[in-house]
Amino acid sequence: MLESSEFNGKIAAFLKIPREKVANEAVLTDLVRDSFALVDLVVELQEDYGARLTQEDLKDVRTVGELFAQFAGKLKS
Amino acid sequence: MPKNLKENEEWLLSFYRTSEISGALFFGRLCKSLRPGPVQHDMSKHFADEAQHAWLWTDCISKLGGNALKLADAYQDQYLSVAGMPANVMEILALTHVFEKRVIRQYALHSRVPDLNPEISATLGKIMDDEHWHLSWVHDALLRMQPEYGKEYIEQTVKRFWEADQEVYKRTMSEHEERVRDLGMLAPETKNQD
């Protein structure tokens, strides 16, 4: 089962930012340098977890916690 | 060295250069995230090509006595604001397919400008072969992705980014109409989206 602490740790490691910045409430666009870095992060997580997200899945995702929920849902189904 | 380049040409070649740099950096970063396989393989060549093209434009501008201008945004940066973020590798390739078609159309249009400087013509010629290969590998990769993503989803995504490209192109042409007119490059827009 996917754990949010592990998930958030992966984000911190990928973006090379302190782990404490990646809280569930953190807004994703505040964590990345530009939109392409966000695309890159989402692809990295999909490749890592072997999950596939669509634009529909991501359309209301703003925070780290909301992104985690999408991945957790995909990996459960 | 005397400057053998109009101000608007210097800007346009710098615009191409900026776009090639952005492409190289984006695909280079993305390549680090991909699992080993054919997409990773071809994308590695793709970003190497884009980096080489950035060099070719830099060199071309320099040989014509100009300076590559530092421009903030690349053409493709605008896709995200118009069409939304690509959500997965297939969507990125769909966007790339649309963008590569735009690049080929733009470079072909530029090649037909009357009395084009031979240095620019030669640079366009060197780059065009690679651009055709980019379109071809992305097309093949999208076909191979059909069992995983579904034909309909892939086609819808290409359509979404194609519509975004129409919007971005219109916006870009309108923003830089004077420059483009000065260079004799006002293009009839194509309706082909396949």
Q: Where do the structural domains in chain B lie, given as residue ranges?
A: 7-181
Classify domain B7-181 at the CATH superfamily level.
Answer: Ferritin, core subunit, four-helix bundle (1.20.1260.10)
- Residue A61 three-state SS: coil
Q: What total of structural domains would you count in chain A? A: 1
For chain A, list residues with pLDDT below 50: none
Q: What is the pLDDT of residue A34?
A: 83
**Contacting residues of B for A55, CB less than 8 Å apart:** 84-87, 91, 157
Domain CATH number, residue A46: 1.10.1200.10
- For residue B193, CA distances in Å to B109, B128, B133, B177 come to 17, 19, 18, 24
| pLDDT score, position B187 | 60
pLDDT at B192: 46
Which domain does A41 fall in, by range?
Answer: 4-76
Could you report the average pLDDT of every consecutive run of 10 residues in chain B (194 residues)? 86 95 93 94 97 98 96 86 91 95 92 92 96 96 96 95 93 84 70 47
Q: Which ipTM did the prediction report?
A: 0.80
d(CA B159, CA B113): 30
Give A44: exposed, middle or buried? Use CB within 10 Å, 0-12, 13-18, 19+.
buried
Contact state of A43 with B92 under an 8 Å Cβ cutoff: yes
When CB atoms are compared, the residue of B33, B85, B148 closest to A38 is B85
Question: Can you give the pLDDT at residue B184?
Answer: 81
Which pTM value belongs to this model?
0.88
CB contact under 8 A, B85 and A55: yes
